[in-house]
Structure 1
Amino acid sequence: MAEILKLLKDGNKPSLLAAGVNAFLGLIKGIAFFFTGNVAMFAEMMHSLGDAANQFFVYIGSALSKKAPTKQFPSGFGRIVNLVCLFAVIIVAILSYETVKEGWHHFIHPTGESKGMLIALGVLFIGIILEGTVLAKAGVEILHEAGQEKAGISTIPKAFAYLNRAKPATKLVFMEDLVATGGNVLAFGAILIAHFTGWANIEGLVSMIIGCMMFYVVAKVFLDNARGVIGETDEEMLNHIAHLVLDDPNIKDIVRLEVIKEGEFLHVELVAEADANLSLAFLDDVRDHLTEVILSQKGVSKVAILFDEDDGKLEWKHIGNRPANSTLEQ
């Protein structure tokens, strides 16, 4: 139990915060839907409840992924977070379908203007504030994980540029809360339009739009985490580490270099060529130095290095220009 509690303390904080906020919003939106009968509010209730369940599972997965390797699982448990994200999007997919179906029904057979407009608008306004706050915090976390400074009011736009460098859990929270904030704004507008124009179909239309936005998150998160489960190469970090390795004067060439994403971490496997006249003791010192350098790079948790005899040919082709900044380094 002590180990589980310790792991939970290291879980992804933005996902836990988002889960709590969305559970609260799902509750008050459900109450508002009960009193108003507003189908846009129903869509937002489903959206918030789906996000709450999703993000809670992601928090658990991010915590368990930090469990230390064992004899039975020597590569560790990093990919658990990807598996949990895949499971979580199934829940969102089901709720997305229900949201679109209910929106279509209301669009074809509108029930007239909903009751309790002020209640619905008040709840949605609270949702915009809370979801926007979580979105901003997730944006700050993305910048932190990418080694960037906070950007104030431009944090959210700036976070888009570094979204692919974010941890799976943080990326999911950012995307879900981006859609959730947008959904709240759309639902807010739909209620006002329905009230002032009498076009009740707008609420069903917006419900379908919100459902489709949820489906987009499902597709994006599914593809990202499916690649993570299989084992995806981090091309940018691979290029960066190749430069660091070839900067060592004792390394003549790289035979093989793999930088594999293991959940929130990176595992590096390197086979390098060195002068055959170097002693084993000297090569061991070179290995220790390279291991220390590579482990100091952001996100790298495991390094395995082997040496081969130099054949006199430089064959490593994957290396490009050195990154212009040091954001990949800790």
Structure 2
Amino acid sequence: MSAGGGTKAIIAALGANLAIAVAKFVAFLFTGSSSMLAESVHSLADSGNQALLLLGDRRSKRRENRKHPFGYGRERYFYAFVVAVVLFTIGAAFSLYEGVEKIMHPHNVESPIWAFAVLVFAIAAESFSFRTAIVESNAIRGTTSWLNFIRRAKAPELPVVLLEDFGALVGLVFALFGVTMAVVTGNGVWDGVGTLMIGILLAIIAVILAVETKSLLIGESATPEIEEKICAALEGSPEVTKVIHLRTLHLGPEELLVAAKIAVEHDDTAADVAKGIDEAERRIREAVPIARVIYLEPDLYRTTKATT
């Protein structure tokens, strides 16, 4: 996976979530807390999600063929979308069900020390995973705000891991709140309230991920900054007088299709035009290395004069 894919962040999150899932389930067996059960399923779902992201990266590296002439780069978008679906159907739906069930049929939390110990351990482990995702993201985020980074990133893995880890940390706080209130008040309804809060949080994160990855899956253009670089590279070629129109499409996080109609001089020979196109393609790839597929159509630029 490329630097933009955040392999280190995914592996860190996978290891943390597997360990946390086991610890939370053990705590559930000792306490009977629905918040702990919801958090166990949450961590297990997150572990499966990280495995899906790694699988998507591996499958995206397959070579192009006759059926898929532009390769399999969008596999990463597909598996990121599947992650959003899994987070909603397994994580959110299960937590919402358990929360409602526990509120309707409450029971006291047994051996709460187990729940508190596991939650503290889980918060520490998730904090490490979240910090790794932040460090990996900062390496490519630059001065972009976190909101814009999540919305505009073309590699889906880091935004997914960031939101998952953020949701996991907040979910742990909700679980700690529910268990603490249930123990202090002696009313098991609070445990169900904490579980319900976890479910609502996961549903919100799942919807955000689904919306963003759906946009990538359908097909997004390059950022305005990248398109400006492409136009500058084209118009910097001596044989190109103007970019008439430009279209870009991400075939994958690090694969960009560029299609442009360019204006050439009317007295250029075919050899001059061919040479100019070759030079323009070279300049584009130099300015934007991810521009892997380039189609340039030469034309004569005509201005329409207004008639009186």
Global fold match (TM > 0.5): yes
Q: What's 2:169 paired with?
A: 181
Cα deviation 1:203-262 (Å, max 9, x = unaligned)? 211211111111122222222222222212234233443344334454323233222122
Are positions 1:164 and 2:151 aligned together? yes
Counterpart of 2:97 (choices 92, 96, 101) is: 101
Provide the residue aligned with 1:91 in structure 2: 86
| Equivalent position to 1:245, from 205, 214, 234 | 234
**Pair 1:306 & 2:296 matched:** yes
Contact 1:168 1:263 in 2 (8 A): no
Which runs of no fewer than 5 residues in structure 1 stay unpaired?
1-5, 150-156, 315-330
3-state SS, counterpart of residue 305 of structure 1: strand
Q: 2:264 touches 2:299 (CA, 8 Å); kept in 1?
A: yes
| RMSD (Å) for aligned C-alpha atoms | 2.6
Question: 1:138-153, aligned counterparts within 5 Å?
Answer: 138-146=133-141, 148=142
Q: Matched residue pairs, number?
A: 298
Question: Relative to 1, partners in 2 of residues 1:305 and 1:107: Cα closer, same or farther, differing over 3 Å?
Answer: same
1:299 & 1:199 partners in 2: Cα distance?
A: 60
Q: 1:46-57 maps to which residues of 2 (within 5 A)?
A: 46-57=41-52
Once the two structures are overlaid, the 10-residue window that deviates more, 57-66 or 250-259, is: 250-259
Match of 2:11?
16
Following the alignment from structure 2 to structure 1, what is the Cα–Cα distance between the partners of residues 21 and 40? 5
The one-letter amino acid of 1:267's match is L
Alpha-carbon distance in structure 2 between the residues aligned to 1:83 and 1:164: 17
2:121 corresponds in structure 1 to: 126
| Alpha-carbon shift at residue 76 of structure 1 (Å) | 0.9
Mark the structure with the bigger radius of gyration.
2
Distance in 1, Cα, partners of 2:290 & 2:68: 18
Q: TM-score, normalised by structure 2?
A: 0.86
CA–CA separation in structure 2 for the residues paired with 1:54 and 1:196: 35
- Against the structure 1 CA distance between its residues 246 and 313, is the aligned structure 2 distance closer, same or farther, given a 3 Å change threshold? farther
Q: How many percent of aligned residue pairs carry the same amino acid?
A: 23
1:275 counterpart = 2:271? no
Q: What displacement does 1:303 show? A: 3.1
1:190 and 1:206 in contact (8 A); partners too: yes
**Letter of the 2:104 counterpart:** I
1:268–1:300 CA contact under 8 A, matched in 2: no
Q: Are the equivalent residues in 2 in contact too, given 1:139–1:159 (CA < 8 A)?
A: no
Task: Report the CA distance between 1:26 and its aligned residue.
Answer: 0.9
- The answer on 1:196 being equivalent to 2:196 is no
What residue in structure 1 maps to residue 216 of structure 2?
Answer: 228
Contact 1:143 1:159 in 2 (8 A): no
Deviations 1:269-296 (A, max 9, x none): 2221121333444444443443334334
Distance 1:302 1:55 in 2: 28
TM-score by length of 1: 0.81
In 2, Cα distance between the equivalents of 1:298 and 1:221? 27
